[in-house]
Amino acid sequence: MALIFSLIFLISSTVFAAARGEYGFSVEMIHRDSPKSPMYNPSETHYHRLANTLRRSILLNKAVALLDTAEAPMFNDRGEYLMEVSLGTPPFPILAIADTGSDIVWTQCQPCPKCYEQTAPMFDPSKSSTYKIIPCSSPSCALAGQERSCSDRSVCQYSISYGDGSHSNGDFAVDTLTMGSTSGRPVAFPRTVVGCGHDSAGTFSTNVSGIVGLGRGPASLVPQMGAASDGKFSYCLTPIGDSAESSKLNFGSNAQVAGSGTVSTPIKISDRFNSFYSLNIEAMSVGGKRFQFPAASALGDGANVIIDSGTTLTIVPTEFYSTFATAISDSISLDRTEDPNQFLDFCFKTTNFDFEVPSVTVHFEGADVPLRRENVFVMVAENVVCLAFRGGDGQSISIYGNIAQNNFLVGYDVTRNSVSFKPVDCSAM
């Protein structure tokens, strides 16, 4: 899992069928610090919330090191998306982390002798008329991944661990998953493959029930939605200061990203990191100066960065970061200062967010993405702005983070293996 900017997906959804047979729908996304969010703490100031977010981003990057096949970066409620979905018949509501860095959909289930503390009611599979375990002999058992096993009851069992050491183990099953759309009309996805967790632990919040994997693998919710997603989803993230504004998570034909300013870059396919959306950044430029982005042997297959809507900062190799950040620093007229939270390195004094910045462009393979001020800097205190980039350690995987994606409609097309960017005002969508 790998996301640091908790945006909460309030999802209970409808699929719309167009006259030509296309399907699509949209759901509401709410920032974790929005007053609409169950995570909202009215006693905290904006800068307290931001400091907590940046702390989570840095801790996450330390966890996203060279991972073996069975691990993925962690998207938890302290740093990423939450989806409100329902499982079973009758529908039982759960609040789960939406994780674009892993595949399996799982929730804690009764009985759960080794579960982390959960304040919300826990799913009881015995009360769902559509819940069915997957036997070890079923081809669907393969979706549980390489760490799957077989219980003494011949039940297929999944086992998944994440980059920060969190894990979940339990029965692999099928059940009806229900979501809701902005129209308020629910839609059910029968026989969705899910994990029923009886042993889970880690950095999960007490009001989170599990994880909804949105990665590239076959157990991800995206391919399991079939024609309702058609392998496509998109989102539009509002800047930090607009946390009260809702964003949208779009599926299927509603996820189309096209029109003026749209650029696309290929998703790189990696056998080792097949759950991630891996891309290739060729260079980044500051003004007229272009800085070559290092290759990444860890990702392989021509990829050197993971795009992650959950990680707040953009994490780049340390040597590149020093050169790139210095070029930006030399191009602005603000005085350097210290980050009061001691998280970020390149910080400047300013009384407002309206200051001149150099042109900064990310040169993805086949797609030049010009960044705006809100993609490059973050205001961490009333009179301090900092560069929203950070150098990773020698073992870290580079991550194209949340702030860099603000005010872009970002679309994923798994069928065509591409990610598209379109500059927009997300608060107006």
Assign residue 117 the CATH number of its domain: 2.40.70.10
Identify whether 1 is part of a domain: no
List pLDDT tens digits, range 226-247: 888 889 988 887 776 655 555 6
Domain that holds residue 217: 7-251
Place of tokens 């789960």: 96
Residues 245, 367, single domain; the answer is: no
List pLDDT tens digits, range 8-46: 333 333 333 333 345 565 655 555 555 655 555 555 555
Q: Under DSSP, is residue 30 helix (H, G, I), strand (E, B) or coil?
A: strand
Domain boundary among 230, 251, 272: 251
Between CA 54 and CA 28 the distance in angstroms is: 24
pLDDT tens string, the chain, 429 residues long: the values are: 543 333 333 333 333 333 334 556 565 555 555 565 555 555 555 555 555 555 445 444 444 433 321 111 222 234 355 778 899 999 999 988 777 778 899 999 999 989 999 998 999 999 999 999 999 999 999 998 877 888 878 999 999 887 667 899 999 999 999 887 656 778 888 999 999 999 999 878 888 899 888 888 889 988 898 888 889 988 887 776 655 555 667 888 888 899 999 999 999 987 677 888 999 999 999 998 999 999 876 787 889 998 887 677 899 999 999 999 999 999 999 999 999 888 899 999 998 888 999 999 999 999 999 999 999 999 888 899 999 999 986 657 898 988 899 899 999 999 999 999 999 998 887
The angle formed by the CA atoms of residues 394, 399 and 404, to the nearest 5 degrees, is 135
Please report, as a single letter, which amino acid is at residue 296. Answer: A
Strand pairing category for 314-317 and 389-392: parallel
Residues 39, 174, single domain; the answer is: yes
Catalytic-residue membership of 99: yes
Between CA 170 and CA 107 the distance in angstroms is: 9
Q: Under DSSP, is residue 426 helix (H, G, I), strand (E, B) or coil?
A: helix
Q: Under DSSP, is residue 71 helix (H, G, I), strand (E, B) or coil?
A: coil
Q: Which of 99, 164, 171, 339 is catalytic?
A: 99
Residues 281, 181, single domain; the answer is: no
Between CA 306 and CA 275 the distance in angstroms is: 10
Task: Give every CB contact of residue 281 below 8 A, 6+ residues apart in sequence.
Answer: 293, 304, 305, 362, 363, 364, 365, 398, 400
List pLDDT tens digits, range 117-159: 999 899 999 999 999 999 999 999 999 887 788 887 899 999 9
Catalytic-residue membership of 425: no
Identify whether 2 is part of a domain: no
Domain boundary among 251, 275, 297: 251
Q: Give the tokens for residue 138.
A: 């079923």
Instruction: Write phi, then psi, for 406 (nearest 5 degrees).
Output: -55, 140
Residues 278, 368, single domain; the answer is: yes
Q: Which of 103, 171, 308, 413 is catalytic?
A: 308
